[in-house]
Amino acid sequence: MLQAIGLTSAPRRDGPPAVDDLTFEAPPGSVTALLGAPGSGKTTALRLMLELEAGRGVTYFRGRPLHRIGHPAREVGVLLGDVPGHPARTARGQLRMLCAAAGVPASRADELLEVVGLAGLGDQRIGTLSAGMDRRLGLASALLGDPHTLILDEPAEGLSPRERSWLHGLLRAHAAEGGTVLHTTSDPKEASRAADRVVTIDEGRLVADQGVADFSRTRLRPRVAVRTPHAARLAAVMNREARAARRSVEVVAEDGSRLSVYGSSCAEVGDMAYRHGVPVHQLADEIGDAGPVAPPGGVRPSGPVRIVPPGPASAVAISELPPPIPVRPARGPLRPLRYELRRLFGVRTTALIMAAVVLVSAGLCVVLARTGGTPLPDLLVAWPDLLPLPPAAFAAGLLGALSFGDEFRYPALAAGRGTVPRRLGLLLAKLAVSAGVASLLALFCVLTDAEVLRLVYGADLVAIPPNAPQLAVSWAGLSVGCAWAGLLAAGVFRLATAGVAAVLAVPVLVVPLVQKLLAVPSARSIAGLPERLRELAWLQWPNEADRWAMAAVRVLTQPVGLALSLSLGALICAYVFTSLRGRARW
């Protein structure tokens, strides 16, 4: 049972709210259509139910609001607009990525591709799918978690009549299994054919909540569609003869050459046109929309007449549903990691960036070694004085920025309230994966640069420095810090460009400020810090750890290390603040 109670969107500056005190129910075991003209507030109502838009009211899914459901994808399947996936990702890769987020086996993706008719197109990129294929992929995404409730926004948009029949059969099969289906539509005929219950709204308010039989009787009536170059003349003739015969015939002018005749038949209209010498280009029986039902004590809202073909609800064939998930695994810490790994390596962008950085770093270190004068540590990481950051560190920051930037640009998780990018588990997974990728990229660039220098200039140029451990820690810290700075900045500002700007701001803006602060004479020293920390600790670490602790302190007190630490601290505080503010808003 889906219960929407008092849904009201935030008021608009130039008028009333898009949804105003909307209350209705969608019972289990049936298909409910939310009917309304474009702009009537249907999509806003769905977003309010899913807690994706600010407003008032509450929606219960089998007695629980969505934010109280531990596994949203297992309870609610959502399709809002187009599939929000990266256009370069394949259809199968998109579903497998969402499988990891929902905690279901990856084999579920192939099962659903078969069900929605995309089994042969699993390796096709999302950006190349047609409108109909995109809707099929969106429906597969909604069915991934074997949900009880389906909430679909215009699911038949862009589908052919045959695909619409298949879609309606699939929705009816889900309802026959005891599930709840709520979908929006602006077509009264589609609502009468595919739904068991029709909820009509207009200007965000409830107009009628009817069974499909009552809806068809009160909202739909037969008419004759006539197209003639002399529409005004034919209308006058039909009105005159109807008054003479005292018949209830209504003639509505649709446009310059089209008429809709209520209360007559094709034979009568054709005979009348023949008798008066009026040429007719089209004459057909249709089912017309009678307009919204007047609310109790109110006035019937006006609305355009819509032409819809006839078709009984019983004509919808029940389609095959995907098999249920036999075992629902419990929550585990690896699920967000699997999602992030599939998201990161599911497109070619990551591999292209890493390959390009390795080539640039190798070529740059050869040029620097030829000119001479560059210290060996800077030579191995290809860091000339002209660049604010070495190529590997900048690439780590770029990949970190894309980690959150792509989430907001292609919000594949936004439909499930419990798995939006603000979730702590997803943040920790992104931090862990970005740190691992940055460390591997930094290590691979150093090893590649060393091997290239050895091949070009000989082994004498590459020698292990005495402070190699400290340099390795500094290099890894710089790469991971840049990755995290880009990731957190993109998460705060919801833009990958902001993440890249935050990475570049560290050496360009923050480091000079830190250098000015460190240039001030100091009367105190941090000498003996490891011993003082040892006195505070309950557990005594080995004496060898003092050397490593002091090395870490020296790294952090360097201008770049201190600037990066300050930047990360500020970004973490900003991320926490924006997360708490967004949570309080709901």
Strands 258-262 and 250-253: antiparallel
Sign of CA dihedral 234, 239, 245, 249: positive
Amino acid residing at 398: L
Supply 186's token pair. Answer: 């602006």
Q: How far apart are the first and last CA of the chain?
A: 23
Q: In angstroms, rounded to a whole number, what is the distance separating the alpha carbons of residues 166 and 207?
A: 29
Q: In angstroms, rounded to a whole number, what is the distance separating the alpha carbons of residues 8 and 54?
A: 9
On whether the CB atoms of residues 297 and 258 are closer than 8 A, the answer is no
Domains in the chain, please, with CATH? 2-216 (3.40.50.300), 218-315 (3.30.70), 334-585 (no CATH)
Which DSSP letter does residue 121 get?
Answer: G
What are the DSSP calls for 129-187, one per residue? Answer: --HHHHHHHHHHHHTTT--SEEEESSTTTT--HHHHHHHHHHHHHHHHTT-EEEEEES-
Q: In angstroms, rounded to a whole number, what is the distance separating the alpha carbons of residues 268 and 387?
A: 85
Q: In angstroms, rounded to a whole number, what is the distance separating the alpha carbons of residues 525 and 523?
A: 7
The stretches of 265-386 forming alpha helices (DSSP H) are 266-275, 334-345, 348-371, 376-380
| The pLDDT of residue 365 | 92
Supply 566's token pair. Answer: 């300050």
Helical pair 496-505 and 559-585, crossing angle rounded to 10 deg: 150
Per this entry, what is the length of the chain? Answer: 586
Sign of CA dihedral 105, 111, 115, 119: positive
Q: In angstroms, rounded to a whole number, what is the distance separating the alpha carbons of residues 199 and 214?
A: 12
On whether the CB atoms of residues 100 and 335 are closer than 8 A, the answer is yes
| The pLDDT of residue 421 | 62
Which DSSP letter does residue 481 get?
Answer: H
Q: In angstroms, rounded to a whole number, what is the distance separating the alpha carbons of residues 89 and 290?
A: 45
| The pLDDT of residue 276 | 92
Output the 3-class SS for 19-87: CCCEEEEECCCEEEEEECCCCCCHHHHHHHHCCCCCEEEEEEECCECHHHCCCHHHHEEEECCCCCCCC
Q: What is the pLDDT along the chain (586 residues), one digit of tens a residue?
A: 899 999 999 887 777 889 999 999 999 999 999 999 898 999 999 999 988 888 899 999 999 998 888 788 889 999 987 777 889 999 999 999 988 888 888 889 999 999 998 988 899 999 898 888 888 999 999 998 899 999 999 998 878 888 889 899 999 999 999 999 999 999 888 898 889 999 999 989 999 999 998 888 777 778 888 999 999 999 999 999 988 888 888 888 877 788 988 888 899 999 999 999 999 999 988 776 655 444 433 333 333 333 333 333 444 556 666 666 544 444 445 678 889 999 999 999 999 999 999 999 999 999 999 887 888 888 899 998 888 899 999 999 999 999 999 888 888 776 544 445 667 888 899 999 999 999 999 999 999 999 999 999 888 777 787 778 888 888 998 999 999 999 999 999 989 999 999 999 988 888 788 777 766 665 565 555 555 555 655 555 555 555 555 555 555 556 676 778 888 888 989 888 887 765 544 4
Phi and psi torsions of 549, nearest 5°:
-65, -40
Q: In angstroms, rounded to a whole number, what is the distance separating the alpha carbons of residues 390 and 476?
A: 12
Cα atoms in the Cβ-side hemisphere of radius 13 Å centred on 244: 6
Closest CA to 204 of 5, 9, 57, 14: 9
On whether the CB atoms of residues 361 and 217 are closer than 8 A, the answer is no
Helical pair 131-142 and 107-115, crossing angle rounded to 10 deg: 130
Cα atoms in the Cβ-side hemisphere of radius 13 Å centred on 215: 27
